[in-house]
């Protein structure tokens, strides 16, 4: 039987497209997310901008070209990007503002948006873009988290994965309480209270954790905001904050970024012992899930048992992030 591909479309929401420090002032680079070729750049005033990539002139990708100031992609002039092919200039809203060698600007571009511009917000040391397949404006706001913006917390420790699956399949993990015992070898089934409200899924979990010092009682509280943003606090051994960001590359591939931070102790970053162990263990869980996700099929009407978590409730909640009709349960 050939493996069926994930049937889910790309969901809409806020998604991380870059860490803040990966995009310097005056830099541009290509990004491929949501099945779309785009260019990400930072203007001279420091504003991050995300535009569709292909120039309306002769189709160059604005993110590719040799550029002395940034090394790659279109040059930045003020608040605009200059196409590497013939130097047409585009502002942050995707309007063509200059064709340097033309006596008259082509009427087809004057006063018109030539390139789709995605809403962008920078917070929590990352750059978020709002994606909606029909260009609908953001339906909720980006939220700021103190742990990711405070000098009392360590610099982010980052890990990333590219996974051949759909965002929904990964997100279902949280509702799938039985797999923790069998995939992640947790000592017990985690006791998780999951609440699905508007664009939030909130989890409160008591979980025993294996540590080098033996078993420790811990708690995990998570707040997922839409399909792309997850914020989790681990308490019990070493206080840890995780931003788990999932960004669809297309409808069958996702880019996962995990960024951890822990409170400084006497102004110092704690890197050894349980601090390192908890981060290692969470990343190990993702490595354990990956082969399951990459090789499973999607069962729209699964056979469930009384020990399973709230899979149906999860799917009903997740369905709100699709603009296209898709039978989810």
Applying CB under 6 A, which residues contact ligand FES?
55, 57-60, 83, 85-86, 88
CA 246 to CA 97: how far, in whole Å? Answer: 34
**Nearest CA-CA partner of 202 in 107, 313, 323, 101:** 313
- 46 vs 106, which CB is nearer to ligand FES? 106
Q: Which is nearer to ligand FES, 34 or 90 (CB)?
A: 90
Tokens 């006791």: give the residue: 191
For residue 77, the minimal CB distance to ligand FES (Å) is 14
Q: Which does 83 bind (CB under 5 to 8 A by kind): ligand FES, Fe ion, none?
A: ligand FES
Q: Please report the DSSP string for 120-138 in residue order.
A: EEEETTEEEEEE-TT-PPP
Min separation Cβ 44 and ligand FES, Å = 20
CB of 60: closest distance to ligand FES in angstroms?
4
Phi-psi region of 191 (alpha: psi -120 to 50; beta: other; left: phi over 0): beta
In the complex, what is the shortest distance from the CB of residue 88 to ligand FES, in angstroms, rounded to a whole number? 4
Binds 289, which of ligand FES, Fe ion, none (CB < 5 to 8 A, cut-off by type)? Fe ion
- Comparing C-alpha atoms, which of 207, 247, 250 is closest to residue 227? 247
Gap between the terminal Cα atoms of the chain: 23
Cβ-closest position to Fe ion: 289
Q: How many residues does the chain have?
A: 329
Whichever of 141 and 287 has its CB closer to Fe ion, that residue is: 287
Closest to ligand FES by CB, 74 or 309:
74
241-124-289 Cα angle (round to 5): 50
Least spacing, CB of residue 113 vs ligand FES, in Å: 16
Shortest spacing between CB 82 and ligand FES, in angstroms: 8
Please report the beta strands in 198-252, taking only residues with DSSP state E, as ranges in sequence order. Answer: 200-211, 214-225, 229-235, 240-250
Indicate the residue among 106 and 302 with the shorter CB distance to ligand FES.
Answer: 106
Name residue 18's beta-bridge partners: 127
- Which of Fe ion, ligand FES, none has residue 55 at its interface (CB below 5 to 8 Å by kind)? ligand FES
On whether the CB atoms of residues 235 and 218 are closer than 8 A, the answer is yes
Closest by CA position to 272, among listed 221, 212, 216: 212
User: What does 60 bind: ligand FES, Fe ion, none (CB cut-off 5 to 8 Å by kind)?
Assistant: ligand FES
**Minimal distance, residue 111 CB to ligand FES, in Å:** 18
For Fe ion, the closer of residues 252 and 289 by Cβ is 289
CB-count burial class (<10 Å; 0-12, 13-18, 19+) for 262:
buried
Partner interacting with residue 173 (select from Fe ion, ligand FES, none; CB below 5-8 Å by kind)? Fe ion
Pick the closer one to ligand FES by CB: 4 or 100.
100
By a kind-dependent CB cut-off of 5 to 8 A, residue 238 interacts, out of Fe ion, ligand FES, none, with none
Cα–Cα distances (Å) from 234 to 122, 241, 242, in that order, read: 25, 6, 8
Q: Is 173 or 192 the residue whose CB approaches Fe ion more closely?
A: 173
Q: Which of 289, 293, 314, 317 binds Fe ion (CB under 5 A)?
A: 289
CB 137 within 8 A of CB 328: no
Q: Are 319 and 329 in contact (CB under 8 A)?
A: yes
Side-chain half-sphere exposure of 155, counting CA atoms within 13 A: 3
Q: Which of 173, 177, 222, 232 binds Fe ion (CB under 5 A)?
A: 173
169 part of the interface to Fe ion, by CB under 5 A = no
CB of 129 to ligand FES, least distance (A): 22
Binding site for Fe ion (CB under 5 A): 173, 289
């Amino acid at each position: 039987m050939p493996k069926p591909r994930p049937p889910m479309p790309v969901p809409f929401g806020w998604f991380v497209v870059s860490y803040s420090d990966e995009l310097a002032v005056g830099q541009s680079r290509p990004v491929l997310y949501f099945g779309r070729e785009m260019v990400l750049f930072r203007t001279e005033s420091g504003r991050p901008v995300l535009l569709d990539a292909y120039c309306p002139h002769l189709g160059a990708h604005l993110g590719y070209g040799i550029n002395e100031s940034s090394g790659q992609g279109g040059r930045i002039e003020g608040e605009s990007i200059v196409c590497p092919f013939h130097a047409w200039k585009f502002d942050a809203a995707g309007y063509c503002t200059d064709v340097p060698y033309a006596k008259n600007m082509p009427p087809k571009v004057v006063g018109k948006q030539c390139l789709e511009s995605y809403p962008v917000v920078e917070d929590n040391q990352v750059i978020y873009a709002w994606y909606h397949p029909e260009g609908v404006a953001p339906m909720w706001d980006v939220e700021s988290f103190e742990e990711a913006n405070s000098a009392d917390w360590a610099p982010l420790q980052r890990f990333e994965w590219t996974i051949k699956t759909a965002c929904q399949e990964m997100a279902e993990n949280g509702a799938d309480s039985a797999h923790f015992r069998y995939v992640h070898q947790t000592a017990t089934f985690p006791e998780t209270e999951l609440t699905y409200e508007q664009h939030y899924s909130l989890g409160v979990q008591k979980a025993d954790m294996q540590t080098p010092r033996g078993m420790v009682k811990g708690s995990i509280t998570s707040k997922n905001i839409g399909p792309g943003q997850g914020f989790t606090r681990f308490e019990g051994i070493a206080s840890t904050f995780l931003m788990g960001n999932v960004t669809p590359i297309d409808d069958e591939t996702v880019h996962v970024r995990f960024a951890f931070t822990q409170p400084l102790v006497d102004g110092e970053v704690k890197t050894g012992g349980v601090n390192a162990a908890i981060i290692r263990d969470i990343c190990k869980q993702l490595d354990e899930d990956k082969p399951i996700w990459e090789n499973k099929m999607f069962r729209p009407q699964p056979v469930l048992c009384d020990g399973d978590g709230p899979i149906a409730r999860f799917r009903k909640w997740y369905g709100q992030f699709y603009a296209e009709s898709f039978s989810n349960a």
